[in-house]
Amino acid sequence: MRYSLKFMRRSFLASLLLFVLPAIAHACGPYRLAFYEYASLYHRDADGQYRGIDKDVVEELAKRSGCRFNTVLESRARTWALLESGGLDITVSALITPERERLVELVPYLQSRRVVLLQNRSVPTTSEAFLMDAKRNLLTVRASRDGPQMEALLAQLRERGRIVEAPDQPTAIRAFKAGRADALLIGVTSLALVRQQDPDFNSYEAAIWAPTERVVGAFAMSRERVNEVDRARLREALQAMRLDGSLDAIMRRHLGDKLAHALRLSDAEPRR
C-alpha cells in the first residue's frame, strides 16, 4: 500500500511537470511595448486616465496570447529610435514602410481615413459638387499631408482661393465651430475624440471624399527581440480578433458605428 501511494505521488508529479514545464519553456514576455498619444488611439481623459483603441487592443491581446507587456508612453520618433537600438520590443498603430519591415514584423489591424465635416445641410456632400460650388471653402491644418486623390482636390481648391488654413488642429476645430469655413478636413480618430469632448460636433455630418485612400496601422514586433514563437502567437491572436468581431467591437466602443467602419480593414487586406 505504501509503495502504491509513493508510485501514485510520483506519477502525479510527473504528470504535473508535463503541463508546467512547457508553460515555463514557452512563457511569452514580458515585452516592452510603447504607446503614443494620438486622438482616439491613445489619450488621457478628463479623469487623467489613459484610454483608447490601442490600449484595449493590447489588453485583449495579453488575455488571448498569455503574453505580458510592460507598457511605456513615447513619442513616435523616440519609439523607432528605441526599436532600432534594442531598447524597445513592440509598438502599435505603426505605418507600414519597406524600411520598417526589415526591422519589425508588421501585422495590420486598422486603417485611417480622412473625413470632411460639413457645416450644414446646404453644403455639398461630394467632392465633385463641393468643387463646383464656387462660394464654398475648406478648412485644413497647415502643412498636413494626404493621399494623391485628396491632394489633387486640395490643389484645385487652393488655386481658386478656397482653402482656409489653421496652424494646428485645435485651432482648426475652433475656427470651424465658429463658422469660418463650410467644411473641415479631419482624421477619423481625431473626429471621434472631438465628438467625445464636444457633443456639438455630433450634429455635423461627416463625408468621405477619398474612399480608396487609407493608411494602414499595424502591430509592430521587433524581429530581433521578439522570438518567432511569440510573434506567431501574437499574430494569430490579433487575426482571431479580426475574425471574431472583437476588434470591430473595440473600435465601435471608441468611435461609434459609422466611424468604426471607416477604420475597419477589409477582408481582402493581407493578414501577415
pLDDT digits (tens, 9 = 90+) for 45-57: 888 899 999 999 9
Domain assignment present for 23: no
| Ranges assigned E (strand) in the chain | 31-35, 43-44, 50-51, 69-73, 90-95, 104-112, 114-118, 138-141, 163-166, 183-187, 205-207, 215-222
Query: Model confidence at 106, in pLDDT bands (50, 70, 90)?
Result: very high
| Ranges of H-type helices in 51-160 | 53-65, 76-85, 98-103, 127-132, 148-159
Of 182, 207, 232, which residue sits at a domain end? 207
For the record, the C-alpha cell of 236 comes out as: 494569430
Which of the pair, 3 or 208, is modelled with greater confidence? 208
Query: Model confidence at 271, in pLDDT bands (50, 70, 90)?
Result: very low
Say yes or no: 127 and 86 in one domain: no
Residue holding cell 521587433? 222
Q: Measured on CA atoms in the order 56, 113, 235, 77, is the torsion positive or negative? A: negative
Phi-psi map region of 179: left, alpha, beta (phi>0 left; psi -120 to 50 alpha): left
Q: What is the CATH classification number for the domain harbouring 106?
A: 3.40.190.10
Say yes or no: 195 and 131 in one domain: yes
- The answer, yes or no, to whether residue 103 has pLDDT greater than 50, is yes
**Quick check: 181 and 138 in contact, CB under 8 A?**
yes
Separation CA 36–CA 42 (nearest Å) = 7
∠ at Cα 208 (207, 213), nearest 5°? 170
- The answer, yes or no, to whether residue 10 has pLDDT greater than 70, is no
Supply the range of the domain harboring residue 124. 114-207
Of 161, 182, 207, which residue sits at a domain end? 207
- The answer, yes or no, to whether residue 272 has pLDDT greater than 70, is no
pLDDT digits (tens, 9 = 90+) for 130-151: 999 999 999 998 866 777 888 8
Of 207, 225, 255, which residue sits at a domain end? 207
**Quick check: 40 and 254 in contact, CB under 8 A?**
yes
Q: Classify residue 221 as exposed, middle or buried by CB count within 10 Å of its CB (0-12, 13-18, 19+).
A: buried
Say yes or no: 99 and 139 in one domain: no
> For 80-89, 125-134, 206-215, which range has the lowest pLDDT when averaged over its residues?
206-215
Domain assignment present for 18: no
